[in-house]
Each structure stands twice: as structure tokens, then as C-alpha cells.
Structure 1
Amino acid sequence: MNAPFAINLLGWKKLKKTGKLVPNNADSGSDTSKLLAKHTLEALGVAPDVVLPDAPANLGRALEHAVCDHLKTALPAAAPERVWHVDHKVPVADFAQYEHLDRVAKAMRENTTLRVDLGRDYLIKPDVTVGIMRPTAETGTRPHLHAAVSCKWTIRSDRVQNVRHEFLQMIRYRRGRLPHLMVVTAEPMPSRLASIARGTGEADAIYHVAFDALKTAVAEVGNAKQRDDLSEIIEQGHRLPHGVLLPALSSR
């Protein structure tokens, strides 16, 4: 399934150096990336070689807000019996499993040695947080962090490390049940998606905003490696369509 907002984000961009048009989720230095992204756009029905006049300048930030806005509406509709808290860039210390980090922050402000020894790795603000207020919770109790979503428009090696580091810190610092750790991306190359999926379990799943369109593109023009990579991570259950994100969150 393709995300309902995919058509508003995916399109063409003009390269500053050459003036040529390329898909806005493609690596302009990779022919494979550009080919897969081009056919993904075709499968989505995006007009060829037309730059959207209202295309967002910062696609990474636009993806974060699109995911956040979508879940704010869709989760209460799918599971109205729950009290949902969907937010953008909220510190994990605002949630029950991590509220002790507020005390850590206070101690570090008052102690220079602690600041040097511990650094600032505990100051985690996921791109999108999904919280749930427990039915028996008292007034003023912090919501339980149900899921943390990292939104990456494309995947590069540095971004893979950033995702893993953030998720590992959340695993390390939580007290209580671990939230679902998810990645949402528009990356067109399965080999780069696999760089996250083949990790050591930091991310529960990777969701693609144009999953069906990407599958079509890989089947039509992907090389053997790209087809094998996509098949492998789908079979392992790591690589899922964006449409699965909603039931995966609302049913757990």
C-alpha cells in the first residue's frame, strides 16, 4: 500500500548544476537509484518531468510532519477506545518509561563531571512519538510511549548509524516496556533499505511511503541484487508497506 500523502511529497527536482530533472528521492550520483525512483513515480501516476510548484523545500521535515499528521487522524479513528498522543519532536523524558531522564538532566546541569562523563546521548527527541494514556492512569501521569518513528527521506550510511544510535539509546534507557521502534522512508534502493533491516534488531520494521509503487519498479527495472534484497527483507518481516503501520500500532 502507498501512503495517502506520498503523492504530495514524491515528484521531480531540478539539479542546480545541470538543470536536469531527477526524482526528488533519488541519489543523483547513482543511475540505479534514479532508474528505480523514476519507475516508482510512474507507478504512482506522477506526471513525468514536471516539478511540483508547491513541493516542500525540506523533504525530510515534510515527511516527519506528514507521518505525524496522518497518525494523529488515523489512529483515533482505528482505535477510538484509546487516548492517543501523537507528536513531533517530543523528548522521550515526557513519557512514563523515560521520566527518570528528567532527573538525570537536572543532575547533569548541576554537576560538570557528569556532563563530561555521560554526554548528551540521553536527550532523545524522536521524529514522531506515539503515546497512549493508560485507562487506569491518574491525572497528571505521563503517557506510555507506544512507538517512536524515525523518518528518513532517503538512506545513507550516516543516517543508518544515526537511527541505530538513537534506537539503541532508547533501548538502553527505558524503564518498563520498550516502545515499538520504526523507520519510515522514501528511499528507492532496496540495498540501502537492507542496511537498516539487516541490523541487530534496533528497528522493529522499516516502512516505505510508496511500497506498492516501489515493488512494481523493482520488478520492472531492478537488477538481480535489488530484487533479491527486496525479497529477502520482505520475507524476514522487516520491510513492510506503509499501510501496515496503522494496524500495527493500533492493535498492539
Structure 2
Amino acid sequence: MHRDRPVGELLREWRRRRRLSQLDLAIQADVSTRHVSFVETGRTIPSRAMLLHLAERLDVPLRERNRLLVAAGYAPAYDRRPLEDPDLAQAYEAIRSVLSGHEPFPAVAVDRRWNVVLTNSAMEVFLDGVDPALLEPPVNMMRLGLDPRGFAPRLRNLGQVRAYLLPRLARQAARTGDPVLGSLYEELRAYGAEDEPPAAGPADIALPIQLGYDGVELSFFSTITTFGAAFDITLDEIAVESFFPADAATTAYLRRSATS
């Protein structure tokens, strides 16, 4: 845990990251602007309950809420156990169930930095032909998709995908304040010129992911699933991305491949 900065300074940073004034935060938290000011300047140390209340209003990630608590002299509120921990067994099985239940369509579980936690067997359509160096742990899904050594060369609409994913990654880095995500954004942005915003085609219902694989053209759209109201940092930071066929040909190919 960090102990290098006062809790008021950390709170002020989160407030500014959320682009809120002290008045905005005071209204949302139902406290006085004076109280917010005193907390940020260090004239008042908030109670544990008030600190968590302010962190909730600021949508501070759980691991950073622990940092706030420690900076104020309190014990952390949230555990961070490995996914293989027996206490997380039911959650681990839930993730496995979601992934396997989505077959024959691809699905992957990633952590807060887009590192792969688990995949189902159908993810082979994305992993085929990827440089083995990118498959060394931790395997990063963003890097797999946008690095020229990944499946980027097989993306038929790479510019469109980049124009969606890079701003998303930039927003995530800004929202979380994670320098690793910021570095990842700069790394991936350097692989191509500025891209045009995604333009919807006449048949698109969401951003298509058009992928060449095994001599055929596959098309997907994706959804993101997270744990609701997680109290463990590990679970709070896991997301499952499920890829759905965007056309009948992709559906038929994947179902046929699963039974062959």
C-alpha cells in the first residue's frame, strides 16, 4: 500500500479526474463544501465511513479505496485474493461456466489491464498464428488485437477496431489512473496513424470485428460482463468479453467446426 501522499491529496486527485468541483462532490455526497475542502487540505481527517462514502460517489476502484483508507490511517476494507483461492471457488466456477456455456463462440475473461485470465476453446480463432512471444504470460488481449504480431493482420477492419479500442483504453487509463494502462495505450497507439471514428454499415448492429481465419471471413460483435457489487478486488477487476456471430455464415462455421 502507498503511504507517500495524504488522503486529502488523493481525494482531490480523484475528484479532478472525475471533473467535479468541490460543490459537485458535496452535493452528490450530501455534505458541505466546507467539509470537502477541509478534507482535501488536510484540516479534517474523514471517518472511515465518510471516506468510503466519498470514494463511492467518486467511483473510485476498490484497490484505490484501500489506498485511501491506508493513507487516512485505517485498515483496508477489501480483500485481494487470487482467483484460485478456495474462498473464490464459486466465482471461479461461475466464470468457467460463462466461458464454456458460450461455446462454440469465443469468450475470454480479462483483468483490469486486459491480461487474459481464462479463455474458452473457441478463442482459437483469435489466437491462431499469433507470435508466440505475445502468448507468454501475461497475455494481453489489447496487445493481441492491435500489435502487428497479434491477430491485427487478420482484422479486415483494423482501422475501425483501432478507432474504437484506443479511445476506450485511453478513457480507462484516465478513469483508473493506472500508469500501466497509460503505457499500454501509448505503445499500441504507435502502431498506426490516427484512425477515423467507426462508421456503421447498413447491416451493423454494433461494431463488427471482421476476422480472417482458416480461409473464411468471420464477423463478430461483443459484450462485456462484470461481477455485480463485488467486495473482492480480484472479482471487481475481472470482465468477461463474449463474442457473438454477426452473421449467419459465422454462426454456421463455428457450429460446424465445433462438431467436426
Instruction: Point out which structure has higher relative CO (alpha carbons under 8 A, 6+ apart).
Output: 1
> Under a length normalisation based on structure 1, what TM-score does the superposition of the two structures give?
0.27
> Under a length normalisation based on structure 2, what TM-score does the superposition of the two structures give?
0.26
Greater Rg by CA = 2
